[in-house]
Structure 1
Amino acid sequence: MDAAHRSGLAGLAGLAGLDRRVVGCRACPRLVAWREEVAVAKRAAFSDWTYWGRPVPGFGPPDARLLIVGLAPAAHGGNRTGRMFTGDRSGDVLYRALYEVGLASQPTSVSADDGLRLYGVRVTAPVHCAPPANRPTPEERDTCRPWLVQELRLLRPTLRAVVVLGAFGWQAALPAFAEAGWSVPRPRPAFGHGARVTLARLEGEGGREGREGRGPREGREGHESPLELFGCFHVSQRNTFTGRLTPEMLRDVLRTAADAAGLPR
């Protein structure tokens, strides 16, 4: 068994365990109450569904080279289906674009058992529970951050690029990158559509040696490939309906990020 395969198996076990722990989280009382209330009240169009009603784990292979970071599950999307960006308009836009650039097996994402596969890509969020009005509080964002940090650490052996959807995700993710072992510049880079920032890797397993604003150290990991970070407007209806984010704009960012990650398309 070669090193890459061993690393993939280790990541599979680690991410599967992480996902199970995420699903059982009840750390934020407001989010727990909301996600469970929505799962009972439902939306009329989904009255025959049994809602997931729990935190939604990341989705994608354990050896992903590209990570997509959103905001949080939608009340009647991921909170209903149990899979990131699945069953809502934002997911319709995202997964069609991934399919069109060769990173997904199909252009639709309607349920967790619909057969969708991602090629070298994982999708996650800095907040794993559906928040009221799609607005997590700063405290909820910070409480959920350790899950993202651990996910980044588990993906670290293969991860080469990240696309962050929206300013909230960008602001939430930067401290997580620093904790997980990448050097984040100071002042922190500003979010913008098409923004690109290179984050150097710091020495130390899972970022134990890493601190925000410090440069790369000499040592075993000091010469590893850096992480390429990309900003993209969120795939929300507000952005896609108004034309602030067009399908072409989204595909361009995904293609650039896939190329930076070394993914075949």
Structure 2
Amino acid sequence: MRRLSCLLGLYGFLSLTPAHADPAPHTVRAVASFTVLADVVAHVGGTHVTVTSLVPPDGDPHEFEPTPNDARVLRQADIVFMSGEGLESWFSRLAHAAGYHGTPVIVSNGISLYTPPGGRQAEADPHVWNNVANVIVWANNIRDALVAIDPADADSFRTSAAAYISQLEALDRDIRTRIDTIPANQRRVLTSHDAFGYFGRAYGVTFLAPQGLSTETEASAGDMASLIAQIRANHVTTYFMENATDPRMVRQVAHATGATPGGELYAEALSPPTGPVPDYITMMRHNTDLMLAAMRLH
């Protein structure tokens, strides 16, 4: 009798299990090079994608030093996203250490690149995301890459991308409208390094910085002297730190010019989730708010 009861119980359990149960939904394991890009991938991928950022929150994507755990994460990835244009100079070392032989998706393909005038750097500026229109290009490239690797969820990716792009378009219009309230001769901002060239070109703001495009390079004494003279001539009264860069040079310039601190800009890294800038759209609004406050003081 006991054996019969066990068999009946087992039969009852099996009868509740469909003969052809649907397979568990597949989740794409995506890796992004840094937090700003990881956030955009997460918005486009939605519930069908998990995203890991190699560079952590508040981390500098220029000077990132990968760890053995980063190699493990890379080996397990279904798809890898990079911005490109020389930003992730460390990636080839990581790929070699991880034995990764895949081809990363370069999301900045198709963007009109900007090269700063003056000849200090001959290379194109890699900080493309500081113009919202360029992140719309990112979103389209990410959508297409996800559709290619997971065609079963293509409709979801297209829907998520369209919704996110609508938010980005509204953000772009809002930044333009707000900056247009500032006279052109007051749109000058002093920050740590040349990370805002695309913002300046798109929205009509001039940025002054002691460092070049990469935080791996240091400004010469001549560069510093020229910048100080430029700041004095243009009556720039406020300077900004960046969350992922060394503040010493910009403080030196500020001391020489009398500029006062205006807050912390997020040029190339998000804050942790509980911080002030947990996502890209919040980052752009935060930076614009601080810049506008400073430009109104000129």
Superposition TM-score, scaled by structure 2 size? 0.34
Q: State the TM-score, normalized to the length of structure 1.
A: 0.37
Q: Which has the higher helix share?
A: 2
